[in-house]
Amino acid sequence: MQLVVARIGRAHGIRGEVTVEVRTDEPEVRLGPGAVLATDPPGTGPLTIETGRVHSGRLLLRFAGVSDRTGAEALRNTLLIAEVDPEELPEDPEEFYDHQLMDLDVVTEGGVEVGRITEISHLPSQDLFIVERPDGSEVMIPFVAEIVAEIDLEEQRAVITPPPGLIDDRAVASARDAERDEADDGAPDDASDEAGGAR
């Protein structure tokens, strides 16, 4: 099974290093020196990682055969793809591979449907679930213990306990708009002129 583990960003320096947007929970395994990765677009690879280091919170990689800035820039926006055994599981039972989480149904502890996980975004501070709601909109849910109460792979669902405003921000905004409209209705007709008409 093929799994996207990173996306190449901009070149760093003049010796062929590139920044990468990590898309795996195990960069030390998937993106270590010696790893051979397929690419999208396919013609760019396969790429063999020669060196890797962290600089200012970002992972920098250098690939075999890429020794200057021009070669590094040519790799920009390339996806790095690892071959993963679909039966393989992380050692920590509290950790999951991205492919295990994709397409899980997201529900609240009260059973309210939120949507479906369509992407996992790996940020320096935390991971985010990108969840597509039934109406086609998206909501970002931090993958932290305080919010994600349970990952049930058998039932193919993620149970969350969202804080106020996380998934109902539109409802909150609508309520505020309604309150503002009511306040405007109660104001004198010339109040907006005195305020310069700005909203």
Residue 195 has pLDDT above 60, yes or no: no
The rounded percent of the chain whose pLDDT value lies above 70 is 78
Measured CA to CA in angstroms, residue 129 lies from 10, 141, 189 at distances of 25, 5, 47
CA angle 95, 98, 104 (to 5 degrees): 95
Q: Using one digit for the tens of pLDDT, what is the confidence trace for 20-43?
A: 988 776 787 788 899 999 999 998
Asked if 25 contacts 84 with a C-beta cutoff of 8 angstroms, the reply is: no
Query: What is the chain's mean pLDDT, rounded?
Result: 80
Q: At 173, which helix (H) or strand (E)?
A: helix 169-186
pLDDT computed for residue 175 by the predictor: 38
Strands (E), 76-137: 79-83, 105-108, 113-122, 127-132
pLDDT computed for residue 88 by the predictor: 62
Which of 13, 4, 6 minimizes the C-alpha distance to 72? 13
At residue 74, the 3 state secondary structure works out as coil
Q: Using one digit for the tens of pLDDT, what is the confidence trace for 45-70?
A: 899 999 999 888 888 999 999 999 99
Asked if 23 contacts 98 with a C-beta cutoff of 8 angstroms, the reply is: yes
Residue 3 has pLDDT above 90, yes or no: no
pLDDT computed for residue 179 by the predictor: 46
pLDDT computed for residue 93 by the predictor: 60
For residue 97, with 0-12 CB atoms within 10 Å meaning exposed, 13-18 middle and 19 or more buried, which class applies?
Answer: buried
Confidence of residue 125 (pLDDT cuts 50, 70, 90): confident
96 or 188, greater pLDDT: 96
pLDDT computed for residue 127 by the predictor: 83
Confidence of residue 98 (pLDDT cuts 50, 70, 90): confident
Widest Cα–Cα separation across the chain:
73
Q: Using one digit for the tens of pLDDT, what is the confidence trace for 145-182?
A: 899 999 988 889 999 998 888 877 544 333 344 444 44
